[in-house]
C-alpha cells in the first residue's frame, strides 16, 4: 500500500534538489564565471521547477490561483529555461524563438483554460509543452555535440533531456488512461510514485550532465588558450610543432603534406615608422586575409615575430604553390589603413613538400624556411619552392 507520505516525501526531495542546484548554478555564474549565461539559465530552470512543485504540494493551503495556474505556468517556464540552458553551453546565441513561441502558446492556453473541476486539459497542455521543449532541446544538443566532436559520445550527454521529454509525454498520456487522478502528484498511486522517483533521478542526472558539459567547455577554453597565439589567434609554436609531428607520422603511412612558410616583408620598417601597435595590427590583418585560403584540416601557426607557417595535409608542391600564390595576392591587395594613411603590405612565401626520406617535420620546415629566404633574396613578395 502506497501512503501519501511517500509521494509528499519525494516531492519535497525534488524541491530540495532544485533549490540547492539553483544556488550552485548561481555561484558558478557569478563567482566562478563559468559559462555565466548557461549557468544562470540553469539556476532559473531549477528555481522555477522547485517553486512549481512547492506550490503544487501546497494545494488546499494557499489560493488556487497560486497552487494551480501559477504552478503550471512555472512548470512550463522551467522546461523552457532548461532547454535553452542546455543549448547555451556550446552556443553563445542559442535559438530561442521556437522555445519562446512554444512556452508562450502553452502559457496562453493555461491562462484561458478553466481550473475548476476537470483538470485533465491543463495537465495535458503542461505535459505536452514540457515534453516538446525538452525533446527539441535534447535533439539540438545532440547535434551540437556531434558537430563538435563525435568522440564525446553526444547521444549519452543528450540522453537525460530526451528521457525527461519521454517522462513528461508519458505523464500526459496517463491523463487519457487514468483521467482525474494524474493531475495531482500528491495522490498515492503507483504511477505517481514511479513518476516522482524517475523525476528525482533525472533531475540529479540532468544537473550533473549539464555540469559535465560546462566542465568540458571550460577545459576546451583552457586548451585553446594554451595552444593559441594571443595576438593573432593562430597556433603557437608549441601547438604547431605538435601538429607537424602528427602530420609527419602520417607521412610514413602514405599520407603526404606540404608547408608554406610566410614572412611579412619590411616588418621592422613598419614598426619603426608607425609603431608597434601598427605592427600588431598588420599581423592581425594579414592573418585575416589568409584565412579564406585555408581548409578545415589545415593548420596555421605563428612561429615568432612576423614569421608564420601553414601545414597543408594531403597536398603536394603544386597544390602548395597555388595556395601560396593566392595568399600572396590577397596580402598585397589589402594595405594597412593606419592614422589616415595606407601602408602597403606584402609577404614572401617559401613552399616545400614532405618527402619519405625526411627524418622529421623539422627537416621539412628547414627546407621551407630556406625557400622563404630565397624569396626574400629575389626581391620579396614572391613564392619560391
- Show which residues are catalytic: 306
Q: Is 260 exposed, middle or buried (0-12, 13-18, 19+ CB in 10 A)?
A: buried
The DSSP line for 119-171 is -HHHHHHHHHHHHHHHHHHHHHHHHHHHHH-GGG-HHHHHHHHHHHHHHHHHH
> What is the rounded CA–CA span in Å between residue 137 and residue 86?
7
> What is the rounded CA–CA span in Å between residue 179 and residue 217?
44
3-state class (DSSP) for residue 349: strand
**Are the beta carbons of 336 and 343 closer than 8 angstroms?**
yes
Nearest by Cα to 295 from 261, 264, 258, 262: 258
> What is the rounded CA–CA span in Å between residue 260 and residue 356?
18
3-state class (DSSP) for residue 230: coil
> What is the rounded CA–CA span in Å between residue 239 and residue 226?
8
> What is the rounded CA–CA span in Å between residue 164 and residue 138?
9
What Å distances lie between residue 180 and 5, 177, 198, CA to CA? 20, 10, 21
C-alpha triplet 37, 40, 46: angle, nearest 5°: 140
> What is the rounded CA–CA span in Å between residue 169 and residue 175?
10
> What is the rounded CA–CA span in Å between residue 156 and residue 265?
51
What Å distances lie between residue 139 and 132, 205, 209, 247, CA to CA? 11, 17, 15, 35
**Are the beta carbons of 204 and 46 closer than 8 angstroms?**
no
Q: Is 356 exposed, middle or buried (0-12, 13-18, 19+ CB in 10 A)?
A: exposed
Amino acid at each position: 500500500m502506497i501512503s501519501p507520505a511517500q509521494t509528499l516525501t519525494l516531492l519535497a526531495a525534488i524541491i530540495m534538489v532544485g533549490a540547492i542546484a539553483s544556488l550552485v548554478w548561481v555561484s558558478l555564474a557569478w563567482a566562478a564565471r563559468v559559462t555565466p549565461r548557461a549557468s544562470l539559465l540553469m539556476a532559473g530552470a531549477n528555481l522555477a521547477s522547485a517553486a512549481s512543485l512547492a506550490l503544487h504540494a501546497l494545494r488546499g493551503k494557499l489560493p488556487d490561483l497560486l497552487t494551480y495556474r501559477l504552478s503550471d505556468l512555472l512548470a512550463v517556464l522551467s522546461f523552457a529555461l532548461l532547454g535553452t540552458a542546455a543549448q547555451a553551453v556550446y552556443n553563445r546565441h542559442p535559438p530561442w524563438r521556437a522555445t519562446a513561441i512554444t512556452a508562450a502558446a502553452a502559457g496562453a492556453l493555461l491562462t484561458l483554460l478553466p481550473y475548476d473541476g476537470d483538470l485533465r486539459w491543463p495537465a495535458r497542455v503542461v505535459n505536452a509543452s514540457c515534453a516538446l521543449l525538452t525533446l527539441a532541446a535534447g535533439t539540438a544538443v545532440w547535434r551540437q555535440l556531434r558537430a563538435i566532436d563525435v568522440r564525446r559520445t553526444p547521444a549519452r550527454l543528450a540522453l537525460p533531456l530526451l528521457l525527461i521529454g519521454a517522462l513528461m509525454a508519458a505523464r500526459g498520456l496517463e491523463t487519457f488512461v487514468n483521467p482525474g487522478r494524474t493531475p495531482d502528484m500528491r495522490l498515492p498511486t503507483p504511477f505517481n510514485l514511479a513518476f516522482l522517483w524517475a523525476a528525482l533521478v533525472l533531475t540529479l542526472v540532468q544537473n550533473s550532465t549539464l555540469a559535465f558539459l560546462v566542465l568540458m567547455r571550460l577545459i576546451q577554453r583552457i586548451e585553446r588558450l594554451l595552444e593559441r597565439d594571443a595576438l593573432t589567434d593562430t597556433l603557437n609554436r608549441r601547438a604547431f610543432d605538435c601538429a607537424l609531428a602528427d602530420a609527419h607520422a602520417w607521412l610514413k603511412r602514405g599520407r603526404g603534406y606540404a608547408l608554406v612558410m610566410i614572412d611579412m616583408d619590411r616588418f621592422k620598417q613598419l614598426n619603426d615608422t608607425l609603431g608597434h601597435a601598427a605592427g600588431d595590427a598588420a599581423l592581425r590583418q594579414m592573418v585575416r586575409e589568409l584565412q579564406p585560403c585555408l581548409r578545415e584540416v589545415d593548420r596555421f601557426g605563428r612561429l615568432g615575430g612576423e614569421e608564420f607557417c601553414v601545414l597543408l595535409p594531403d597536398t603536394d608542391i603544386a597544390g602548395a604553390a597555388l595556395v601560396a600564390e593566392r595568399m600572396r595576392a590577397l596580402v598585397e591587395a589589402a594595405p594597412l589603413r593606419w592614422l589616415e594613411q595606407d601602408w602597403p603590405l606584402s609577404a614572401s612565401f617559401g613552399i616545400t613538400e614532405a618527402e619519405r626520406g625526411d627524418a622529421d617535420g623539422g627537416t621539412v620546415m628547414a627546407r621551407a624556411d630556406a625557400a622563404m629566404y630565397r624569396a626574400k633574396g629575389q626581391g620579396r613578395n614572391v613564392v619560391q619552392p
